[in-house]
A and B are shown apart, each in its own frame.
Chain A
Amino acid sequence: MLEISNLVKRYGHNEPVLEGLDLTVDGSSVVAIVGASGAGKSTMLRCINRLVEPTSGSIKLNGSELVNLRGSALRHARRRIGMVFQGFNLIDRLTVMENVLSGRLGYVSFYQALTRRYPQNDIDRAFQLMDRVGIGHYADKRADQLSGGERQRVAVVRALMQEPEILLADEPTASLDPKTSQQIMSLLQTLASEMSLPVLINIHNVTQARMYTDRIVGMRHGQMIFDGVPKEFNQNALDAIYGGIESPEEDGDNTADKDSATQQGGVVA
């Protein structure tokens, strides 16, 4: 269970990016976080694994406080939090297998990392997960030889190698074509339920958010202004989140009906 309470993040003396955010995610739910660019989605996600330092507030993962951790305590906490990025963030010149095993860096010794002598358990788990997402035959290929969708699968497997207690995904489909991005979203959804893993997904594509997640959180100007199941995410909510910033036009039929959600592309704000 992830409990965020009164989270504030301010860069320098500017207006805070996050203004006292509260969010609780429990069980294995897939939560979509939607909001215009600059609403603070990415900052919130990065505060959880402390790639960004929160200014104040509290973030608890399964009861233990993450804010204020330092050094090895912070690194141990990060092992429990998997993250998937918009740009995949793979190491291009290493093989797929090395990229996948790099998810274990928090667990193995420096010598094991240097010589690539990972424990057999890790290697078994790597093959098992790669087969699960359909990239098992790429183990010895260089990561930069794969297509976008395949690269994101490598990134997902890398995050799962950490045996995380929660998975964060920062616009995991924004660099992918519509069909591939649907595949990745559906993969995240099924993996979450298979591994009973809570997943937080920052996403711009509202249609996909409705379709593949259990809960939608809407953010604007660093505050949460919508929290509900996809069915409740209607035109009013959409206007409240994006209104006056950008206009995600869908020609009037962008209400919360499931039919429009099956259309490819949908609302891309």
Chain B
Amino acid sequence: MVDHAAKLTDRVWSRYDRKEQWARYAIYLVTLFAIVWAVRDIDIFWPWVWDAPNQIQNLGARMWPPEISAWQAILNAMLETVHIATLSSMLTIFIALPVSYIAAQNTTPNKAMLWLGRFILVSSRSVNTIIWALLFVAIFGPGVLAGILAVMFRSIGFVGKLMGEAIEEIDRRPVEAMEATGASKMKIVLYAIVPQVMPAFFAIIILRWDVNIRESTVLGLVGAGGIGMMLQGSIDMFAWQTVATILLAILVLVILGEAVTSVLRKKVI
């Protein structure tokens, strides 16, 4: 018989060797340092943090019961929020589709257009909706129009990029067949490309409408219309019971949006 015990003790195994182990300790140390540095630097006023449970309780008490006498104004602001989302999603289509067409490798007319398309998409996506809203409020003044444009400018990048990817993923063979019939470029797009990207298009635009509802609820904080404007006003006036109602209403709206989009998504796919 072989002496298993003796043999086993000879076999030393460790997941990391000495050098890797030191590297891991170093990473832990750097991470710890980054956290300590950040916490010290941001200058938290600790008494306020310890006081937070009290404040929460206090605020909760002031919010209860939610004030529902203003329900009509809240409902109108909610509808305005939905309208901002719907209109901006619709308008997005008209700009995002041509941009996705020139930003897709296989349909772009030339290199310059390709880069123009990509530039539009990247610049649209790198600026947050709220920042777009600040810009448009400055240009058009506060109100719904600024909100619609802000949401739209952010959506163009989202819808355009995903549609561009959908166009790049099409099966090329129907395109070849349509070329062979003597069809013009626009007719080839209509018959060989549009049917192939249709399901992706509906899925993307429904998803974006859903996102846009949520984006529209905060636009009012910078004066660009919707329920956020009322929320800001109520906070400024310490009308906490109204604030509670508005927050609940936003929750209901987002859940409704979610439900509607999931039904629509099932219908089209």
Contacts and interface: CB of A to CB of B under 8 A. Distances in A.
Interface in B160-182: 173-174, 176-182
A93 interface: yes
Contact of A78 (B173, B180, B191, B195): B180
A75 B182 CA distance: 4
Interface in A138-161: 155, 158
Contacts of B180: 49, 51, 78, 81-83
Contacts, number: 76
A110 B181 contact: no
A78 to B, nearest CB: 4
Nearest to B184: A75
A52 to B, nearest CB: 10
B181 A91 contact: no
A72 B184 CA distance: 8
A92 B174 CA distance: 9
A90 B184 contact: no
Interface in A90-119: 90-94, 98, 102-106, 110, 113-114
B173 A79 contact: no
B105 interface: no
Interface residues of B, number: 20
Given A79-B182, A91-B195, A162-B181, A105 B176 contact: no
A105 B178 contact: yes
Contacts of A110: 184, 186-187, 190
A82 B178 CA distance: 11
B195 A106 contact: no
A87 interface: yes
A90 B179 CA distance: 12
Given A93-B195, A93-B198, A79 B177 contact: no
A98 B232 CA distance: 55
Given A93-B196, A110-B186, A110-B187, A103 B181 contact: yes
A85 to B, nearest CB: 6
B183 interface: yes
Contacts of B159: none
A78 B182 contact: yes
Contacts of A6: none
Given A89-B173, A89-B176, A93-B198, A76 B182 contact: yes
A75 B184 CA distance: 7
A238 to B, nearest CB: 31
Interface in A56-84: 72, 75-79, 81-83
Q: B182, B186, B195 — which one has the most chain A CB atoms within 10 A of its CB?
A: B182
A102 B191 contact: yes
B148 to A, nearest CB: 29
Contacts of B218: none
Contact of B174 (A83, A91, A106, A113): A91
A59 to B, nearest CB: 15
A89 B182 contact: no
7 contacts: A51-B176, A82-B180, A90-B177, A91-B191, A92-B174, A106-B181, A110-B184
Given A89-B176, A92-B174, A105-B188, 19 more contacts: A75-B184, A78-B180, A81-B180, A83-B177, A85-B176, A89-B173, A90-B174, A91-B195, A94-B195, A98-B191, A102-B177, A102-B183, A104-B181, A105-B181, A105-B183, A105-B184, A105-B191, A106-B183, A155-B177
Interface of A: 49, 51, 72, 75-79, 81-83, 85, 87, 89-94, 98, 102-106, 110, 113-114, 155, 158, 162
